[in-house]
Amino acid sequence: EEEGLSRTKLARSLGCSAAKISGRLKLLELDPEIQELVAEGELPKSPQIVDAFAQVADREARVELAREVARRRTSLKGIVRACERLVERIEE
């Protein structure tokens, strides 16, 4: 919205929903290494993965996990579970 173009206007001009625009923008919150995995199609383009990986405070562990789940072609649900398990292990 900095340049005066709202998500709604952008969505309208692109022919998609504002929610989709918001979801794609949320992916920019990921570490660059994880963004690259998403861009390459190794991880799903879902805002849910942003929330899942955001739970993992340790950057190195987060990126390592992202690479591992990408290598294994883990489902979105599996990625969320893997992040939750990693957080539990780190907190122990």
Quick check: is 71 in a domain?
A: yes
Quick check: is 3 in a domain?
A: no
Global pTM value: 0.80
Quick check: is 16 in a domain?
A: no
Quick check: is 8 in a domain?
A: no
Quick check: is 49 in a domain?
A: yes
> What's the pLDDT band for 1 if we cut at 50, 70, 90?
very low
Residue 65 near residue 42, CB atoms below 8 Å: no
Number of domains in the chain: 1
Residue 68, domain extent: 24-91
For 16-64, write each residue's pLDDT tens digit. 888 888 878 888 889 999 999 999 999 999 989 999 999 999 999 999 9
Q: What is the pLDDT of residue 31?
A: 95
Quick check: is 15 in a domain?
A: no
Residue 28 near residue 35, CB atoms below 8 Å: yes
Rg (CA), the chain: 15
